[in-house]
């Protein structure tokens, strides 16, 4: 009954509720592959608009096609080819930068666009496929809000799955090459499921300056199983202990959810109420031996929501509702302490 009354009182104040009871977890984006602001600002100016001067040359025989058909063809070019076409001449740039899907990607998902180019995986998905990922709200693996993309398979995922999901298990390529050579499996087959890392710091690890190849573990295991005589016990020995935060984070990057209904890009919102629960309701939880309770508290505190998802969560969360009441319906600042981890070194 109280939740129903709260929902009625909060109707029409969605933005104030999100501002008062939620907060962004920007530190998650700092732990995966990313560009610094100085690297990102200048390329955006170069990628999202045509030159001011009129084109002096056309596209040759391609101009015989209707512009609408050329646009459809361009959307289904892989990112690497699209990037090359963009730099062909002024006429090509004029067409390429005028495509809505591409413009939205460069405006809101430039981090991911550049990550595919930097890790040599841009030939594996089209501009339109990246756009579809960007307008997909939830993680493909667990169904929670997903603010990230796993680069090797180009799948939308959440930060929890970046860290722990079997589908994002990532290993250095070198651990598989010897076994594949024995089975006469071409290295090119394994490279289809790999990427080349970018230099930088990931997951609080020390900066890595040497670029290496990482492979999607599940795909590599399938190749071994299908094309070699290696036993399952040998595969277990090869993969045991090889997973690390560095490899998973180096193979992932941020990708905001673009909400078609609101026309806004969302990076995800954490709940201050859930944050308070771990600080106030269970102050000694960090020193507890109850691993299940620790895990649940951590998941609740770190869970990201879309704006719509957060409002649905707010209707059920008593701590968030109490915070809303103490703020006098968003008109008064309520002091709170954000103790989420912050990153000093980023790539």
Ordered DSSP codes for 150-161: ETTTTEEE-HHH
Report which of residues 228 and 153 the model is more confident about: 153
% pLDDT > 70, the chain = 78
Tens-digit pLDDT profile for residues 263-307: 999 999 999 988 877 666 555 555 556 677 677 777 888 899 999
User: What pLDDT is attached to residue 244?
Assistant: 83
Do residues 119 and 195 make contact, with C-beta atoms less than 8 angstroms apart?
Answer: yes
Tens-digit pLDDT profile for residues 15-66: 999 999 999 988 888 889 987 645 544 455 567 665 656 665 788 898 899 9
Structure tokens at 50: 């045509």
Tens-digit pLDDT profile for residues 151-177: 999 999 999 999 999 999 999 988 888
Question: Dihedral angle at the C-alpha atoms of 86, 87, 93, 98, nearest 10 degrees?
Answer: 30
Residues paired with 213 in a beta bridge: 196
Q: Which residue has the tokens 């602001």?
A: 37
pLDDT reading at 189 higher than 90: no
- HSE (side-chain half, CA atoms, 13 Å) at 147: 24
Tens-digit pLDDT profile for residues 92-124: 888 999 999 999 999 999 999 999 999 999 999
Ordered DSSP codes for 244-279: -HHHHHHTEEE--EEETTTTEEE--BEEHHHHHIII
């Amino acid at each position: 009954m109280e939740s129903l009354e709260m929902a009625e009182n909060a109707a029409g104040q969605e933005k104030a509720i999100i501002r008062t009871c939620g907060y962004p977890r920007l530190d998650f984006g700092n732990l995966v592959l990313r560009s610094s602001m100085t690297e990102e600002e200048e390329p955006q100016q170069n990628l999202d608009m045509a030159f001011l001067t009129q084109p002096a040359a056309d596209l040759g025989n391609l101009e015989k096609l209707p512009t609408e058909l050329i646009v459809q063809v361009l959307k289904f070019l892989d990112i690497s080819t699209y990037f090359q076409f963009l730099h062909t001449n002024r006429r090509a740039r004029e067409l390429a930068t005028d495509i809505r899907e591409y413009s939205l990607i460069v405006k809101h998902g430039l981090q991911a666009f550049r990550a595919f180019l930097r890790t040599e995986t841009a030939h594996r998905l089209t501009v339109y496929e990246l756009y579809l990922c960007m307008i997909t709200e939830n993680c493909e693996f667990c169904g929670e809000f997903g603010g990230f993309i796993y680069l090797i398979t180009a799948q939308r995922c959440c930060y929890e799955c970046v860290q722990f999901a079997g589908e994002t298990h990532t290993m250095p390529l070198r651990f598989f090459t010897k076994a594949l050579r024995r089975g006469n499996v071409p290295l090119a087959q394994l490279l289809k499921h790999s990427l080349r890392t970018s230099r930088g710091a990931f997951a609080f690890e020390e900066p890595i300056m040497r670029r290496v190849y990482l492979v999607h573990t599940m795909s590599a295991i399938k190749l071994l199983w299908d094309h070699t005589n290696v036993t399952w016990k040998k595969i277990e020995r090869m993969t045991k202990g090889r997973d690390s935060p560095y490899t998973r984070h180096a193979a992932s990057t941020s990708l905001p959810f673009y909400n078609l209904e609101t026309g806004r890009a969302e990076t995800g919102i954490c709940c201050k109420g859930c944050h308070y629960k771990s600080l106030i309701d269970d102050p000694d939880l960090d020193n507890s031996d109850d691993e299940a309770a620790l895990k649940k508290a951590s998941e609740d505190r770190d869970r990201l929501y879309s704006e719509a998802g957060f409002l649905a969560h707010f209707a059920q969360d008593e701590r968030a509702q109490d915070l809303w009441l103490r703020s006098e319906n968003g008109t008064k600042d309520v002091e709170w302490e954000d103790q989420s981890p912050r990153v000093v070194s980023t790539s």
